[in-house]
Amino acid sequence: MLYLTPEEQSLLDGAAGPGVKRAMEIVVALGRIYGAPDLVPVSHVQISGVSYKNLGDAGVDFLNEWAEQGAKTVVPTTLNPAGMELDRWEAMGISPGFARPQLTAIGAFVRMGVTPTMSCTPYLMPGFAPKRGDHLAWAESSAVAWANSVVGAFSNREGGPSALAAALVGRTARYGYHLEEERRATHVVEVTCPVPDIADFGALSYLVGKAVGNGVPYFPDLGAWLPPLPEDLTLGGEAGDRLKTLGAGVAAYGAVALYHIAGYTPEARDQGERLLRPDAQRIVIDSLAPAYAVMDANPETTAIDLVTIGCPHASYTELQQVAERLQGHNLTTRLWVTTSRITRERAAQDGWVQIIEAAGGEVVADTCAVVAPMRALNVKRMATNAGKMACYAPMHSGVDMRFGDMEQCLEAAITGKWR
């Protein structure tokens, strides 16, 4: 039986108007379906499904209608990437037929009080990054994995409409990863092969995601491959970038929303093996080769149309690494480093963006190569170092895919060929 406070009941009865009533109906319906005891206030909402490529005309109409009902967000709310860079879409080669409905959708979100950050990495944004113990309603699966695992915040994997509903009422149903008991590990994943690179963490994410599904993996030994996290987590850092890739991949190849690393992630540091369920299954990963064989999907492809770095959106550290490697080079193939506007501005202050652009690369904000209309941009052969991009771009954009480490990707950008 779902308990509602008198205030929640009045919102459900329509006291704050039809838009809020609709939002409360969604939150309450989910609570009843999942057997939640009550609703929990959330401190931040992240909305996904923002690209016109995903929304279509029906989705844009749905958002406009909700905005016209006067509903407004009551907690800080941010947006996932859209299908284009909002003020540079013409230069990107996006057609007006795509751009107009995309801008209409963003306008509807903004009218409802959403901050148009257009990034899948709210945790890399000063001012929005969550704290341990925060309850969130985040819909971007890679960000949910980060918030739950790296920060120790509490979020389920919301859908786009349920996240927006939570933003309009400031609450979500208390079930799943909002409950301590549900956060215990279902699998112990021993990694006995080396994982020295971000791409290796992407390959690992493939194997773990496939093996664990929607379980909660506990890694007893992965901390050996992770330097300490930076004090300012919003910079990313070498460790943060590896974990960003791991979380995105296990969420994409499986449906993992939370993992623990012994001695490293907050709950594992505090509770150690007490986090394991008594029936936790043991899995051993002793080679990444099977993952590379699948993810590097088109080994016959050597000419590359687009190299893409930054899935999830690139951190400050990744922009710095790309810039340092490209200094003094001229690219022969198109390079997108996709990131948030906030991170791009931070990196530009230190000159990293200018170095990438001087080499001929593009530091693209607001979008990524999965949610942008890549076929219309005539991209057929792509290369990446990101596990999730290797999974989704062939599916969503029909491209051939080469997957490897950052050095292979940047070399392909410089030479135009995959080595």
Shortest CB 6 distance to ligand F3S, Å: 39
Which 283-322 positions form the footprint of ligand F3S (CB under 6 A)?
Answer: 311-313
Shortest CB 171 distance to ligand F3S, Å: 26
102 touching ligand F3S, by CB under 6 A? no
Measured from the CB atom, the residue of 138 and 392 that comes closer to ligand F3S is 392
Shortest CB 389 distance to ligand F3S, Å: 6
Adjacency order of strands within the sheet including 217-219: 260-261, 217-219, 185-191, 276-285
Reference 273, options 260, 284, 254; nearest CA is 260
Reference 340, options 321, 359, 368; nearest CA is 368
Q: Which of 163, 208, 239, 248 binds ligand F3S (CB under 6 A)?
A: 248
374 touching ligand F3S, by CB under 6 A? no
Number of Cβ within 10 Å of residue 107's Cβ equals 15
Q: Which of 285, 371, 409, 414 binds ligand F3S (CB under 6 A)?
A: 371
Shortest CB 203 distance to ligand F3S, Å: 16
Shortest CB 278 distance to ligand F3S, Å: 34
The tokens of 221 are what? 């030994």
User: Which of these segments, 106-114, 271-279, 388-396, 404-412, binds ligand F3S (CB under 6 A)?
Assistant: 388-396
Exposure b/e, 4-39, CB count within 10 A at least 16 = b:
beeebeebbeeebeebbbbbbebbbebbeeeebeeb
Binding mask 30-69 for ligand F3S (x = CB under 6 A): ----------------------------------------
Binding-site size, ligand F3S (CB under 6 A)? 15
**Count of CA atoms in the C-beta half-sphere (13 A) of 161:** 19
Return the SS3 of 297.
coil
Which 124-163 positions form the footprint of ligand F3S (CB under 6 A)?
Answer: 142
370 touching ligand F3S, by CB under 6 A? yes
Which 331-350 positions form the footprint of ligand F3S (CB under 6 A)?
Answer: 338
Q: Which residues contact 290 (CB under 8 A, 6 or more apart)?
A: 207
Q: Which of 26, 39, 63, 120 binds ligand F3S (CB under 6 A)?
A: 120
User: Which of these segments, 152-160, 198-206, 217-225, 365-373, binds ligand F3S (CB under 6 A)?
Assistant: 365-373
Reference 256, options 208, 224, 290; nearest CA is 208
Positive or negative, the CA dihedral 409, 412, 417, 419 is negative
Q: Which residues contact 274 (CB under 8 A, 6 or more apart)?
A: none
Exposure b/e, 333-362, CB count within 10 A at least 16 = b:
bbbbbbbbbbbbebbeeeebbebbeebbbb
- Name the site residues for ligand F3S (rule: CB under 6 A): 80-81, 120, 142, 248, 311-313, 338, 368, 370-371, 388-389, 392
